Amino acid sequence: MLRLSGTIKQNAVTNSGITKRLFSNIQCYDSLVLGAYTENGTATLTASKDISKKVHNLIEEHLRVSNFKKAGDVRTLYNIGGMKQVAIVSLGKKSEVQDTQEAARRATALGLQALKPQGAKHIGIDISLNAHGAGEGAVLSQFSFDKLKSDAKEEDIVVGPFSETENGELDWANGQIYGASQNVARMLMTSPANLMTPKLFAEEVAYLLAGLENVEVIVRDEEWAARHNMNAFLSVARGSVEPLRFMEIHYKGGKKGDKPHGLVGKGVTFDAGGISLKPSNNMALMKGDMGGAATVAGALYGICKLQLPINVIAVTPLCENMPSGTATKPGDVVKAMNGKSIEVLDTDAEGRMILADALYYVSSKHSPASLIDLATLTGAMDVALGDVFAGVFTNSDKLWNNLEKAGKTTSDPFWRMPLNDGYLKEMKESSVADLNNLGKGRSGGACSAASFLKEFVYGLDKKEEQEKIPWAHIDIAGVMDSQGTDGYHIKGMSGRPTRSLIEYIRGLSSN
């Protein structure tokens, strides 16, 4: 278990008048993670004013003979300056470090990962470069999901800030919250589908948010969804014995009467493809098909912890997509909440079905100031952008600019994709319904899926509303999981882009 201590200003001290400590260490850390710029064979510690000249010179000499220079290089020194272990991480040349938050985030992660196998228990983190980034890296890099293993050991590691920094709006404590929020999403996505059913997902999120201020969680069942004519959502859920849930979260941190900003997350807790069964290869990854709901839940956790002065409404339609005798069949027609009929050509194109009703519900019932949905929606998005960017389809330049800025701040970036009715043309060619749910499939599949969702944001034929609700669809299929561990990116379900969502909402709240 990783525990984090709060922000305490560090000052140079002496120890009992007998032994002079060579690091300022009022929290009695046994180990440290330090960052260092490297140039022309010389290392310059970013926290140098918190370290005596003697120890600084000793560290510099060790680094010089160890060929320490490339960004990301880590050297661990032992019994130096009163510390059992000191991990120094190269930041590269100072002139080449453009993003100090990302540099601190990554350096902290690499240093902690070097110290953890050595038995370090009370670790101080250099926050002099960027406290917020260091706080994020400290939490993100320590995520693990081994509670189901018989030999799992709970490690009691305390991590806290070392060195001085300017305290701004984004500080060490806020960085911890950002990181913990992404870890919430990681936890939800990583949990096996039998232990994270729609019912259990809703209960887990309600538990996580319990006791936080200005938040209300409402969980609805199948009867409620039927009364609201959410037949697209119901059509996906009907193949599973697990009951659906429709979770609605209201965060009221802003002024009474201010319009909320809407978040919608796809919550398919396991996607077998329905009757249009997926190939068995890698189907186990489909426990993460509720990544949209997980990132929305993680973001709400962070927003509530930060108590941002803004109103937010988040909804997550939760169900499984399974084949059975009661499952929706290819060729079936259902009528969505907004009255549009949909021919189901492919039951594995289920995400857009449940989002259709959720988007219409939020846009028609709550009139949000803006609306964003997130979903692991299409394999085509993974093909287009891989695991670097999440794709954004939006009708609003302002909304896009805010998302892009947030993604750059958190180093969890977005890329704008085309939103055009041309991608909807083949979906309107059904002979029995207003729309079909497939279009051309993988050919422009992410674009056609976004165009399909747009039909449910504004309501049936309410063209005059189109310019009144800024909306974005974020396809996170490509960034759903990490193939390997690299710094604070941990192999497995990624929980992206939770931190970018929090930063986006924080940006709105400060305007």
- Model confidence over 187-197: pLDDT tens digits? 999 999 999 99
3-state secondary structure of 297: helix
Q: Per-residue pLDDT averaged across 470-475, rounded?
A: 97
Task: Kindly tell me if the per-residue pLDDT of 16 is higher than 60.
Answer: no
Mean pLDDT across 329-355? 97
**CATH superfamily assigned to domain 2-168:** Leucine Aminopeptidase, subunit E, domain 1 (3.40.220.10)
Confidence at residue 462, expressed as pLDDT on a 0 to 100 scale: 54
Q: Is 151 exposed, middle or buried (0-12, 13-18, 19+ CB in 10 A)?
A: exposed
φ, ψ for residue 485 (rounded to 5)? Answer: -85, 125
- Of 3-7, 17-21, 405-409, 465-469, the one with minimum mean pLDDT is 17-21
User: What does the mean pLDDT of the chain come to?
Assistant: 91
Lowest mean pLDDT among 11-20, 22-31, 290-299, 332-341: 11-20
pLDDT for the residue numbered 170: 85
Averaged pLDDT, 19-38? 74
Which residues have CB under 8 Å from 185's CB, separation 6+? 291, 294, 295, 297, 298, 299, 495, 496, 498
Model confidence, pTM = 0.93
Domain 176-469+480-509: top CATH class: alpha beta
pLDDT at residue 23 is higher than 70: no
Q: What is the pLDDT of residues 437-455, one digit of tens each?
A: 997 666 899 999 999 999 9
pLDDT of 25 reads 58
- pLDDT, residue 439, reads 79
Q: What is the predicted pLDDT for the residue at 498?
A: 98
Residue 163: Cβ-neighbour burial (10 angstroms; 0-12, 13-18, 19+): buried
Which tens digits make up the pLDDT trace of 215-250? Answer: 999 999 999 999 999 999 999 999 999 999 999 999
Cα 38 to Cα 69, 88, 344, distances in angstroms:
5, 11, 59
Q: What is the pLDDT of residues 250-266, one digit of tens each?
A: 999 999 999 999 999 99
Q: In the chain, what percentage of residues exceed pLDDT 70?
A: 91
Question: Rounded distance, CA 160 to CA 33, Å?
Answer: 10
Q: What is the per-residue pLDDT across 495-507, written as a single tens digit (0 to 9) for each?
A: 999 999 999 999 9
**Residue 27: pLDDT above 80?**
no
Asked whether the domain spanning 176-469+480-509 has the same topology as the one spanning 2-168, the reply is no
> 346 near 236, Cβ under 8 Å?
no
- Percent residues over pLDDT 90 in the chain: 79
Q: 361 burial class (0-12, 13-18, 19+ CB within 10 angstroms)? A: buried
Residue 18 has pLDDT above 50, yes or no: no
Query: What number is the average pLDDT over the span 77-96?
Result: 92
* Length of the chain as a residue count: 511
Phi-psi label, residue 9: left if phi above 0, alpha if psi -120 to 50, beta otherwise: beta
> Is residue 7 very low, low, confident or very high in pLDDT (cuts 50, 70, 90)?
very low
pLDDT at 56: 83
Task: Give the tens place of pLDDT for each residue, 396-428.
Answer: 999 999 999 999 999 999 999 999 999 999 999
pLDDT at 465: 52
Q: Which residues pair with 268 in a beta bridge?
A: 319
Active site residues: 278, 352
Is the torsion defined by CA of 327, 330, 334, 336 positive or negative?
Answer: positive
pLDDT at residue 167, as a whole number? 60
| Domain map (residue ranges) of the chain | 2-168, 176-469+480-509
Lowest mean pLDDT: which of 91-100, 133-142, 149-158, 307-316? 149-158
